[in-house]
A and B are shown apart, each in its own frame.
Chain A
C-alpha cells in the first residue's frame, strides 16, 4: 500500500462517503439565499419607493409628467422638467460616449500600436471609471467649465454661464466612456480570431472587417455596454448637480441650466418636510426606476431583433 501524503490523509478524513464535503450544502444554501436576497432587495426597494409616492400619484396622477411647475412653497409639483433633464443629459452623454467609446475599443483591439502601448492605455481608460463622482463634479467646476466657457458662449450667443444641460451631458459622457469602452473592448476581444481572419482572407479590408463583421458579431455585447453606460448616465447625481445649474424648468436652449431627477433628490431630500413634497420626490425617483427599466427592455428587444435578423 502506498503511503498517502499528509495532504491526502487530511482530505480523506473529511470527505464523506458520497464524496461531498459537509460544507457543500451549507455553501449551496448560503449562495442561494444571497442570490434571492439580491432580488428581494430590488423588489423591496421598488415597493418602498412606489408606496411612498402614492400620495403624490393620487394628487397629480399623469399630470406630474406633463407639468413642469415645481413650487414647494405652494405645494405645486410637476416633474416634467426633471424627466426632460434626465433624458436629455443622458442622450447627450451617449451621443458622445458611444462613438468615442466604440472607437477606443476598436483601437485597443486592432493592431495599430504594439501590445505594450495598448495595455497601459486600456488600464488608464478603466481607471476613469474609478474616479468618484464628486471629484468629477469638482473637476467640472474648476477645470472643464472655465476651459469650455469661451466655446459655450460663442455657441449660445453670449448668454451661457457655462452651467447647463450641455455641460452636464459632456461631463457625463466622460464618466460613461470607460464603461462603454472597456466592455466593448472585452466583447471585441472575445470574438474568435478565426472570424476576423476569415473575413480578411476573403479579401475584405481592415475597416470593412471591423464594421461588417466584428461589430455585428459583437452587437449584443456592445449594446449591453451602452445600456450599462446609459444606466450610469441616468442615475449620476453629484457630478451632474454641480454643473447643471439646478433650475427646475425646461431649458430654452441646450446651454441653459436644467435639472435632473437625481440632482433634485440630492438637493431637496434633506429638507423636504411637507408630505406632498416628500412624496413628489419619491414619485420622481420612481419615474427614474421606470425610465431605466424601459431603457433596458428596449435594449433587450433591439438585441433580439438584430440577432434574429442575422439568423
Chain B
C-alpha cells in the first residue's frame, strides 16, 4: 500500500520533534553523576550513604553496582567507573597495573559472620578454630561430628551432611575469610591459601553476599560466611567463633572495634587483620576500602567525590552502627581524611 503524503509528513515531523527534544531532556538530568562498582560487603551501608547524601545534595547522584571486590578493582583499573570498592585492598601488583596512583581509603569495617541452617539448632553455635577450618577443608562432613559436639554439649545436633556454601565470584569477603583460615590452620594455608577467589576443596558457589545468604536460607544443613549485616538483617542464625585468646565471641560492633584496636595503619592505609588479639575481639574482621585515583580526569567529578568522601568520613559514620558496621577509630579517620585531601 502506498503511504499517503500526509503520513510521510507526519512521520518526518515526529522525527524532527524527537531530535530537538533530546538535548532538552538531557539537560534536565543531574548536574553530577558518579559511578562506582565493587564489593557486596559494604553495600547495605553504601546504599544508605548514597541515599542520604542525595537527600542533602539533590544534584549529586551516585550509582553503585555491587559486583564483588574483584570486579571493583578491575573496573577502577580500567577507569570505567569513578570509584571502586573492595574489602581486599589492592596488592602492589594490582596497583602497578593501574594507569595512575590509586588511593585506598578505608570507609568502615565489619565482621564476617558464619551462618548456618540446621533444624533445631538456634543461633550461637560455638565453633572453635580447628572445627571451622575442618568444615571448610572438607574434613568435617556431618553436623553431629564430635568436634562440633564438644563445644556445644547442650545442643542436639542432627546426623545431617554439612553443605558448605562459599562464593563463586571474586570476593573481598572471601579474602577476609580465607586470610583468617590461613592464619588459624597451617593445613589450610598450605593447601588452599587466601585470596579473592581460591580453589575451594568443597562447597557450593553462590554469587555475592546476598547469594550466599539466600542459599544458606534455602538449604537445610548448610553453612556459609557472609558479612554480618546480611545475617542479622535476614535473621539468620550466627555462630560464635573462637578468637586468638580462646574466647568465643559473636559478631558485633564491640567485637570489631576491639579487633581494630591497637592496629597501626601504614601510609597507604592497607592493613589486613587476619587474627586479632584481645579477649573481646571478633576473629574475622575486615576493613573495606574505596579506591579512588589521586588525579582524576574530570575536575567536577573529583570535587564532587571529595565532598562526598568528607561527608562519609564525618556525618556518614553515624549511619554505620544501626547497620552493624563499626565506625572507624578516630586516629584512622584523621589519616583517611588526609588521604582524601590528596584527590584532585
Residues of A bordering B, CB below 8 Å: 7, 10-11, 14, 70-74, 141-142, 145-146, 149, 158-159, 161-163, 241-242, 245-248, 257, 267-268, 270-273
A268 pairs with B169, CB closer than 8 A: yes
Partner of A245, one of B5, B68, B170, B205: B205
Residues on A with C-beta less than 8 A from B218 are: 141-142, 145-146
Asked if B258 is at the interface (CB within 8 A of a chain A CB), the reply is no
Residues on B with C-beta less than 8 A from A163 are: 204, 215, 219
A72-B168 Cα distance, complex, nearest whole Å: 12
A257-B2 Cα distance, complex, nearest whole Å: 60
A242-B206 Cα distance, complex, nearest whole Å: 7
A14 pairs with B2, CB closer than 8 A: yes
Within 8 A of A (CB), among B194-246: 195-200, 203-207, 211, 214-215, 218-222
B68 pairs with A247, CB closer than 8 A: no
A267 pairs with B205, CB closer than 8 A: yes
A64-B170 Cα distance, complex, nearest whole Å: 22
A161 pairs with B168, CB closer than 8 A: no
Residues on B with C-beta less than 8 A from A158 are: 161
B169 pairs with A271, CB closer than 8 A: yes
Asked if B4 is at the interface (CB within 8 A of a chain A CB), the reply is yes
Which residue from chain A places its CB closest to the CB of B65 in the assembled complex? A270
Residues on B with C-beta less than 8 A from A267 are: 168-169, 205, 207
Once A73-B199, A161-B221 are accepted as A-B contacts, the answer to whether A246 and B204 lie under 8 Å apart by CB is yes
B73 pairs with A246, CB closer than 8 A: no
Which residue from chain B places its CB closest to the CB of A15 in the assembled complex? B2
Kindly count the residue-residue contacts between A and B in the assembled complex, taking CB atoms under 8 Å apart: 90
Task: Give, as a whole number of angstroms, the nearest-CB distance from A280 to chain B.
Answer: 13
A242-B222 Cα distance, complex, nearest whole Å: 16
Partner of A247, one of B71, B196, B205: B205
Which residue from chain B places its CB closest to the CB of A257 in the assembled complex? B204
Which residue from chain A places its CB closest to the CB of B171 in the assembled complex? A271
Within 8 A of A (CB), among B171-189: none
Cβ proximity bits B35-75 to A, threshold 8 Å, 1 near / 0 not:
00000000000000000000000000000000111110110
A246 pairs with B206, CB closer than 8 A: yes
Residues on A with C-beta less than 8 A from B286 are: none
Q: Assuming A163-B215, A268-B169, A271-B67, what are 12 further A-B pairs, CB within 8 angstroms?
A: A72-B197, A73-B197, A73-B199, A247-B203, A257-B204, A267-B168, A267-B169, A268-B197, A270-B71, A270-B74, A271-B68, A271-B71
Once A14-B2, A247-B204 are accepted as A-B contacts, the answer to whether A270 and B215 lie under 8 Å apart by CB is no
A84-B222 Cα distance, complex, nearest whole Å: 26
Residues on A with C-beta less than 8 A from B163 are: 161
- Can you report 21 residue pairs joining A to B where beta carbons are below 8 Å apart? A7-B2, A10-B2, A14-B2, A71-B199, A72-B195, A72-B197, A73-B198, A145-B219, A149-B220, A163-B219, A242-B211, A246-B205, A257-B204, A268-B168, A268-B170, A271-B67, A271-B68, A271-B74, A271-B170, A273-B73, A273-B74
Once A141-B218, A159-B161 are accepted as A-B contacts, the answer to whether A271 and B70 lie under 8 Å apart by CB is yes
Once A10-B5, A73-B193, A163-B204 are accepted as A-B contacts, the answer to whether A270 and B70 lie under 8 Å apart by CB is yes
Which residue from chain B places its CB closest to the CB of A142 in the assembled complex? B218
B168 pairs with A70, CB closer than 8 A: no
B5 pairs with A273, CB closer than 8 A: no
Cβ proximity bits B102-133 to A, threshold 8 Å, 1 near / 0 not:
00000000000000000000000000000000
Residues of B bordering A, CB below 8 Å: 2, 4-5, 67-71, 73-74, 77, 94, 97, 161, 163, 168-170, 193, 195-200, 203-207, 211, 214-215, 218-222
Once A73-B193, A73-B195 are accepted as A-B contacts, the answer to whether A162 and B219 lie under 8 Å apart by CB is yes
A110-B206 Cα distance, complex, nearest whole Å: 45
B219 pairs with A161, CB closer than 8 A: yes
Task: Give, as a whole number of angstroms, the nearest-CB distance from B36 to chain A.
Answer: 14
A73-B192 Cα distance, complex, nearest whole Å: 9
B197 pairs with A161, CB closer than 8 A: no
A148-B235 Cα distance, complex, nearest whole Å: 25
A11-B222 Cα distance, complex, nearest whole Å: 74
Residues on B with C-beta less than 8 A from A149 are: 220
Partner of B170, one of A70, A159, A161, A270: A270
A70-B205 Cα distance, complex, nearest whole Å: 14
Which residue from chain A places its CB closest to the CB of B206 in the assembled complex? A246
B205 pairs with A271, CB closer than 8 A: no
A90-B198 Cα distance, complex, nearest whole Å: 28
Indicate the member of A73, A142, A145, A161 with the most B CB atoms within 10 Å. Answer: A161
Residues on B with C-beta less than 8 A from A73 are: 193, 195, 197-199
A124-B295 Cα distance, complex, nearest whole Å: 56
The 4 A-B residue pairs whose C-beta atoms are closest, nearest first, are A271-B70, A246-B205, A271-B170, A270-B71
Task: Give, as a whole number of angstroms, the nearest-CB distance from A281 to chain B.
Answer: 12
Task: Give, as a whole number of angstroms, the nearest-CB distance from B163 to chain A.
Answer: 4
Residues on B with C-beta less than 8 A from A246 are: 168, 204-206
Residues on A with C-beta less than 8 A from B207 are: 241-242, 267
Task: Give, as a whole number of angstroms, the nearest-CB distance from B75 to chain A.
Answer: 8
A270 pairs with B206, CB closer than 8 A: no
Residues on B with C-beta less than 8 A from A248 are: 199
Task: Give, as a whole number of angstroms, the nearest-CB distance from A136 to chain B.
Answer: 15
Partner of A141, one of B68, B73, B214: B214
Residues on A with C-beta less than 8 A from B73 are: 271, 273
A267-B167 Cα distance, complex, nearest whole Å: 10
A23-B67 Cα distance, complex, nearest whole Å: 48
